[in-house]
Amino acid sequence: MQDLSLHLMDIVQNSLKAGAVRILIEVRADTSINMLYITIEDNGHGMSAAMVESVTDPFVTTRTTRSVGLGIPLLKEHCELTGGKLELQSEEGKGTCLRASFGLYSIDRMPLGDISDTMTALVLSDPNVDYVVRFVCDDNEFELDWHDIRDQLADVPLNEPAVLEWIGENLAEKQHYIFGGVLNEITG
Amino acid sequence: MKSLAELEAIRQRAKADLAARTDGGRKVVVGMATCGIAAGARPVMNAMVEELRTRNVNDIAVTMTGCIGVCRLEPIVEVIEENGDKVTYVKMDATKAKRVVVEHLINGQICQDLTIGADEAEAKAKAKA
C-alpha cells in the first residue's frame, strides 16, 4: 500500500463484506499531541471476540481463495512503525469500529493519499451504501453525509457520472482545505 | 467551495440523461482486494470510468470484486459481454485501461497483448529460453 487512502479502501471492503449499509469514515489530525487517527465504523454483522483477537494474524482470513489475509496486518504494521496502534472493537449483530493511529510527523507515516478517489471507487461499486466522511483537524471540521446527498438527488442514483464527479471534487477540495499545511504532504 | 446546493442542477441534468439511456448489459469488473489495491487497481478503475465519461459512454457498468485468485497478475480487469463471454486483462495500469476502453469497449477489438492468455504465453516462452 502506498498511502492511507488505499488502506482505507481495503478496510472498508471488510465492512461491505460484513453487510454494512452505513459506514462512518473519519480522518482526524490532532496537532496538540501530533497524532493522526483514521476511524472506520460500520453497522455490519460484527465479529466474535475470538475473531477480533485473531484478525491481526495474517493467517486468519474469511477469504476462500487463499488462507492468507494481509489487509489488517499490513495496516497494523504501518501504525506501529509510526508510534501508533490499531484498535478494533466489534459486537456481533451490531457492527465493528476500527481505529488506526499514526504519529502525525513520523518519517514512517505514509501520506494520506486521495480519500476522494477511494470514495468515488466505493460509490461506483455499490451506490446503495451510505457513508459519512468526516475530516477533522483541531478545531476545523468538515462532514459529508450521504443522507444529505440522497435528499438532494431524490431518485437519481449516486453512481451517475456527474454525481461521482461532484463527490470526488468536493472531498478533494475539503481534504486540502482541512489538512493543508498540517500534513506534510499537503501544502497549505 | 462545493456545496450540496449544486446537486439540484446535477439532478435535473441526470434525470434527462437517465430517461434517454438504455442498459447495454456489458460489464467491467476490477479486482479490488488487498492484492489488487496494493498493485494499483484503484487508479485503473478510476481511469476507466473517466475515459468512459469523457467519451460519453453510459451503458457500461464498471464495478469491483474481491480477490480473483491470481494476485501476481493484479491489477486485473474483466470485460463481461452481454452473452457472458469474458475477456481477462492482467497487469493493468491507467494507460492500458484507457486503451481497453477505446479499442475494446468502444471499437470492439480485444487488446490481445494485454490478456491473461498473452501473459501466460510470454511466461512459458521465457521459461523455455
Sorted by where each starts, the structural domains of chain A and their CATH numbers stand as 4-179 (3.30.565.10)
Q: Is residue B1 one of the residues assigned to a domain?
A: no
CB proximity list for A185: less than 8 A, separation 6 or greater:
A111, A112
pLDDT at position A66 is: 56
Q: B46: domain range?
A: 24-128
Give percent above pLDDT 90 in chain B.
55
Mean per-residue pLDDT of chain B: 90
Global confidence as pTM: 0.85
Asked whether the beta carbons of residue B14 and residue A156 sit closer than 8 angstroms, the reply is: yes
Q: Is residue B63 one of the residues assigned to a domain?
A: yes
CB-neighbour burial class of residue A153 (10 A; exposed 0-12, middle 13-18, buried 19+) = buried
Q: ipTM of the assembly?
A: 0.76
Q: Find the chain A residues whose C-beta atoms sit closer than 8 A to any C-beta of B.
A: 1, 6, 9-10, 13, 17, 63, 65-66, 69-71, 74, 117-118, 120-121, 124-125, 148-149, 152-156, 160-166, 169-170, 173-174, 177
Cα–Cα distance for residue pair A127/A121, rounded to 1 Å: 10
Q: Is residue B19 one of the residues assigned to a domain?
A: no
pLDDT at position A126 is: 87
Q: Is residue B18 one of the residues assigned to a domain?
A: no
Q: Is residue B47 one of the residues assigned to a domain?
A: yes
pLDDT higher than 80, residue B1: yes
CB proximity list for B26: less than 8 A, separation 6 or greater:
B59, B60, B61, B79, B80, B81, B82, B105
Asked whether the beta carbons of residue B10 and residue A162 sit closer than 8 angstroms, the reply is: yes
In A, which residues are within 8 Å of B15 by CB distance?
A: 155-156
Q: Is residue B36 one of the residues assigned to a domain?
A: yes
pLDDT at position A162 is: 87
pLDDT at position A161 is: 83
Q: Is residue B30 one of the residues assigned to a domain?
A: yes
Out of A118, A124, A170, name the one closest to residue B49 (CB): A124
- The number of domains in chain B is 1
Asked whether the beta carbons of residue B2 and residue A173 sit closer than 8 angstroms, the reply is: yes
Amino acid at the residue A184? N
Q: Please, are residues A29 and A84 in contact by the beta-carbon 8 Å criterion?
A: no
* A42/chain B closest Cα distance in angstroms: 18
Query: How far is residue B10 from each of residues A55, A121, A125, B99, measured CA to CA in Å?
Result: 42, 19, 20, 29
Q: Is residue B15 one of the residues assigned to a domain?
A: no
For chain A, list residues with pLDDT below 70: 59-69
Out of A6, A70, A166, name the one closest to residue B7 (CB): A166
pLDDT at position B43 is: 92
pLDDT at position A68 is: 58
For the record, the C-alpha cell of B128 comes out as 523455455
CATH number reported for the structural domain that contains residue B123 in this entry: 3.40.30.10
